[in-house]
Amino acid sequence: MINYLKESTFAVKDVIMQAWKVTKENYFSIATLCFLIFLTASTSTFMAFFMEDVNLGIRIVMLLIFIMSYCVVELCMIKYMFRLLDEENADIQIIETLPTRVEVIKFLIATVYFGVSIFLVGILLMPVLYVIDLFLKLLLSQGIIESYAATGAIIVNIAVGIAILSIFFTFIRIIFFPFFIIDKHSSPFESIKLSLATTKGNFIKLLFILLGLVVVQAIVFGFFYIVILMGFRLVNLFFDYDITQYSSLIVVVFSSFVIVPFSTAFFAVAYRKIMNDYKGDEHPDIIHNIV
C-alpha cells in the first residue's frame, strides 16, 4: 500500500509538471481560447442581471445558446491540448481544433447520461438512508436521542454527506468521457463505459491527482488574490473609488485565463497516462466496471 501511495504521488507530480509545461510554453496560443471562455462566461453573467423581466422563452433560448457556446469552446480546448501533447512545436490553428457538430451533440448527450448517473446513484442510496432512519428511531425510542427534530437534523446531515461523496465518486469515475469523445470518437454511452473501465482500480491515484490540482490552484489563486487585493488598496489610496463591485469579474477572469486552461491540460495529461496503462477491452461492459 505504501509503494502504491508513493507511485500515486509520483504520478501526480508528473501530471502537474507536464501540464504546467504545456500550459506555460503555449499559453499565448491558448489565450485566444481563454478569451472566448471569458467572453462566454462574462456575457452570460452580464445578461443574467438584465433578463429577469424578459420572456421565459427568450431566457431559455439564450441559456441554450450560452451552454452550446461554452461546450464548443471547452471541447475546442480539449482538442487543442491533445494536439499540443501529440505534436510538439506544431503550428496549430484554432480553426483546426473546432469540434464538429456530432462531437458537440455527443458531449451534450453524455452530459445528460452523467446527470442520470448521479440521479441513479441517489436512488440506490435511498435504502441506506431508510436503514439509518430506522436506526435513529431506535435510538430515539431508547432515549439516547432527545427529540425527533434532532433525529431529522442528523438524517439530513448524513444524507447531504452521502450525496456529496456519491457525486464526487461518480464524478471521478466518469470524468474522462469528453476526452474519449474527442480522442476516440466514442459514442456518448461508450465514452461513459470507457471512462468507468479506465478509472477502475485507479481511484486512489485519481484522488491524489485531483488533490494535487486543487492544491496547485489554491496556491495560484492565493497569490492572484493577494496581488489583486494589493492593487485595490493602492488604487483606493489615490482614488476614492470602490472597486470591490468588480470582484465577480475578477473571479471570471481568473477562472477563464488560469483555472480552465491549466485544468484542461491537467486532465488531458492524466487521461493520456491512464490510457497508456489501460490493458482492458476496447468495448468494455458497464456492469463489471462500476465497482
Domain span at 27:
2-289
Is residue 232 very low, low, confident or very high in pLDDT (cuts 50, 70, 90)?
low
Q: What percent of the chain has pLDDT over 70?
A: 73
Q: Give the total number of structural domains in the chain.
A: 1
Cβ(263)–Cβ(213) under 8 Å?
yes
Single pTM value for the model = 0.77
Is residue 144 very low, low, confident or very high in pLDDT (cuts 50, 70, 90)?
low
Handedness of CA 69, 74, 75, 77 (dihedral sign): positive
In sequence order, what DSSP letters do the residues of 196-258 get, joined into one string? HHHHTT-HHHHHHHHHHHHHHHHHHHHHHHHHHHHHHHHHHHHS----GGGHHHHHHHHIIII
Q: Which residue has the cell 481511484?
A: 203
What type of residue sits at position 267?
A: F
CA pair distance 214, 195, nearest whole angstrom:
21
- List pLDDT tens digits, range 98-137: 888 898 889 888 888 888 877 777 777 777 767 777 777 7
- pLDDT at position 3 is 47
Half-sphere exposure of 224 (CA within 13 A, CB side): 16
Cβ(214)–Cβ(262) under 8 Å?
no
Provide the angle, in degrees to the nearest 10, between the axes of the packed helices 247-254 and 27-50. Answer: 140
- List pLDDT tens digits, range 3-41: 444 444 546 778 878 888 888 888 887 877 888 877 777
- List pLDDT tens digits, range 202-215: 777 778 777 777 77
